[in-house]
């Protein structure tokens, strides 16, 4: 069942700066050490989340190429003047072509007909039966089986791999079939990607600030 409320584009994770200041005071850190430890912990947290998401998305989408996953999962950070820095994790949620995913294609490649007009010798228009059983069974755990209306099984020109194309009933033109990952990816992000972010951040912050104080690094 689809969720009634979908995650917003920007999912904010509030960091209790009061708790961080208490830790800084307890270990005897100065303001510069506090800000440096915060920045470092934020950077390490973003890296940790990215690695975790990369692994989960690899299993959830089962892409044929990891390059596609790397392009869809970017992390970056920026500074807002005198305020503490922020980190963001960006997910590309646009549809993915069937040919770029691992899985089983359901259906047969329709052979070319050889019917010709007896008067002109030209090929005649073949009768096309409705093909309602062309579908894709993804290997990725985040995706569901899907059937494509007006779908036809074809082969890619580059590597001759089976894929699915959608033929427009009116123009007879085709386009490559795609899998919509928007809902399933947002469900994953909502349930898993940020579930332990505060624990990860606090671990990195405490470890870093204690090391700075012990080593007298400022």
- Reported as a pLDDT band with limits 50, 70 and 90, residue 129 is very low
Do residues 24 and 60 touch, judged by C-beta distance below 8 A?
Answer: no
Pair (121, 186) in one structural domain: no
DSSP, res 193: I
Pair (169, 196) in one structural domain: no
Do residues 96 and 179 touch, judged by C-beta distance below 8 A?
Answer: yes
Give the separation between CA 180 and CA 189, rounded to whole angstroms.
16
Per-residue pLDDT tens digits for 203-212: 999 999 999 9
Answer with the residue of higher pLDDT: 71 or 78: 71
Q: What is the pLDDT of residue 33?
A: 94
Number of alpha carbons in the 13 Å side-chain half-sphere of residue 138: 26
Bridging pattern class, strands 174-176 and 162-167: antiparallel
Is the pLDDT score of 81 beyond 50? Answer: no
How far, in Å, are 16, 22, 142, 156, 166 from residue 200 at the CA level?
A: 14, 18, 24, 43, 45
Pair (87, 186) in one structural domain: yes
**Is 7 a domain residue?**
no
pLDDT over 90 for what percent of the chain? 34
Pair (203, 167) in one structural domain: no
Give the separation between CA 177 and CA 97, rounded to whole angstroms.
6
Kindly report the pTM of this predicted structure: 0.69
Q: What is the pLDDT of residue 124?
A: 56
Determine the average pLDDT of the residues in 173-180. Answer: 92
> Domain limits at 129?
98-179
Q: Which of 17-21, 178-182, 208-212 has the highest mean pLDDT?
A: 208-212
Number of alpha carbons in the 13 Å side-chain half-sphere of residue 80: 5
Q: What is the pLDDT of residue 212?
A: 93
Pair (102, 170) in one structural domain: yes
Is the pLDDT score of 120 beyond 90? Answer: no
Do residues 117 and 125 touch, judged by C-beta distance below 8 A?
Answer: no
Helix (H, G, I), strand (E, B) or coil at 119: coil
Determine the average pLDDT of the residues in 52-62. Answer: 85
């Amino acid at each position: 069942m689809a969720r009634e409320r979908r995650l917003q584009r920007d999912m904010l994770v509030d960091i209790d700066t009061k708790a961080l200041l208490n830790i800084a005071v307890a270990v005897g850190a100065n303001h510069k050490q506090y800000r440096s430890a915060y920045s470092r912990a934020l950077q390490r947290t973003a890296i940790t989340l990215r690695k975790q998401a990369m692994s989960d998305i690899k299993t959830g989408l089962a892409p044929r190429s990891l390059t596609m996953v790397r392009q869809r999962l970017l992390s970056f950070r920026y500074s807002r003047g005198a305020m503490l820095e922020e980190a963001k994790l960006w997910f590309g949620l646009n549809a993915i072509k069937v040919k770029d995913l691992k899985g089983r294609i359901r259906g047969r490649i329709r052979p070319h007909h050889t019917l010709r007009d007896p008067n002109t010798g030209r090929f005649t228009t073949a009768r096309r039966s409705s093909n309602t059983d062309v579908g894709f069974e993804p290997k990725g755990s985040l995706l569901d089986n899907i059937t494509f209306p007006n779908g036809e099984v074809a082969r890619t020109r580059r590597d001759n791999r089976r894929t699915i194309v959608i033929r427009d009933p009116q123009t007879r033109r085709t386009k490559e079939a795609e899998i919509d990952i928007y809902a399933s990816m947002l469900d994953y992000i909502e349930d898993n990607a940020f579930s332990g972010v505060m624990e990860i951040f606090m671990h990195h912050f405490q470890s870093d600030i204690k090391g700075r104080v012990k080593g007298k690094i400022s």
